[in-house]
């Protein structure tokens, strides 16, 4: 599984929160922790693709402490944006875990539950690619490629439609409302409020709790 993460100073630019960088790191840690716990039969390992050394160390330590699949941070050598970073990560994953498929997902799924991801990965076809839309229905939270298939990421504006046009099978209708945490990425304060209603992970909860205490 690939989790792309920007340098923390540039992450979550639309999230109007005083602790934006800390929240980005906390959400990535909670996401990686949930992914690693989805079961080693569906997730062989987690690669966090980032050029932020502090984030690399923190996510590896925070998510790795909970067990499950290994969580490793790797540098974004292309450093040319999200899709080149994911193609680079896919090549590394194929070399590290040959014979396995590869998937990419958002690193801001603060309310993700391991069982939701497991259900989505098991629903993906055994050949080709599959995509799952975000809660808004226009973005992509999960892109899967079966063994022998290229990931071919097309993240960006209207990425869900772009992935469908590129031949990916849509998982959104089949999974529906059964995976709310997996579909709830966090870009804005409203998204964060929606994630909190679902129940965010411990790292995100700790940052929000500290912010509330300081505000009080």
What is the value of pTM for the model shown? 0.95
Residues 6 or more apart whose CB falls under 8 angstroms from that of 216 comprise none
Rounded CA-CA distance 64/86 in Å is 21
Cβ–Cβ under 8 Å, residues 111 and 184: yes
What's the Cα-to-Cα distance from 178 to each of 7, 31, 89, 172, 210, rounded to whole Å?
A: 32, 18, 29, 10, 31
Report the pLDDT value the prediction gives residue 212, as an integer from 0 to 100.
64
Structural domain boundaries in the chain: 2-215
pLDDT-derived band at 213 (thresholds 50, 70, 90) equals low
Cβ–Cβ under 8 Å, residues 108 and 185: yes
Instruction: Output the CATH code of domain 2-215.
Output: 3.90.550.10
Rounded CA-CA distance 99/126 in Å is 12
pLDDT in tens, 106-153: 999 999 999 999 999 999 999 999 999 999 999 999 999 999 999 999
The answer, yes or no, to whether residue 79 has pLDDT greater than 80, is: yes
Cβ–Cβ under 8 Å, residues 87 and 104: no
Report the pLDDT value the prediction gives residue 176, as an integer from 0 to 100.
87
The answer, yes or no, to whether residue 16 has pLDDT greater than 90, is: no
């Amino acid at each position: 599984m690939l989790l792309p993460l920007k340098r923390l100073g540039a992450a979550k630019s639309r999230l109007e929160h005083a602790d934006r960088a800390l929240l980005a790191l906390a959400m990535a840690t909670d996401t990686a922790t949930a992914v690693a716990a989805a079961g080693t039969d569906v997730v062989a390992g987690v690669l966090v693709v980032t050029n932020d050394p502090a984030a690399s160390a923190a996510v590896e330590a925070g998510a790795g402490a909970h067990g499950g699949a290994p969580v490793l941070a790797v540098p974004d050598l292309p450093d040319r944006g999200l899709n080149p970073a994911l193609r680079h990560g896919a090549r590394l994953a194929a070399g590290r875990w040959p014979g396995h498929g590869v998937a990419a997902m958002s690193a801001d799924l603060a309310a993700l539950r391991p069982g939701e991801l497991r259900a989505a990965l098991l629903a993906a076809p055994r050949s080709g690619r599959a995509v799952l839309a975000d809660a808004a229905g226009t973005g992509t939270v999960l892109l899967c490629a079966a063994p022998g298939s290229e990931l071919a990421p097309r993240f960006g504006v209207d990425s869900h439609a772009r992935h469908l046009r590129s031949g990916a099978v849509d998982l959104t209708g089949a999974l529906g409302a059964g995976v709310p945490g997996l579909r709830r990425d966090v870009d804005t304060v409203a998204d964060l409020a929606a994630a909190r209603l679902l129940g965010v992970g411990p790292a995100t909860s700790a940052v929000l709790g500290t912010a509330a205490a300081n505000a009080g």
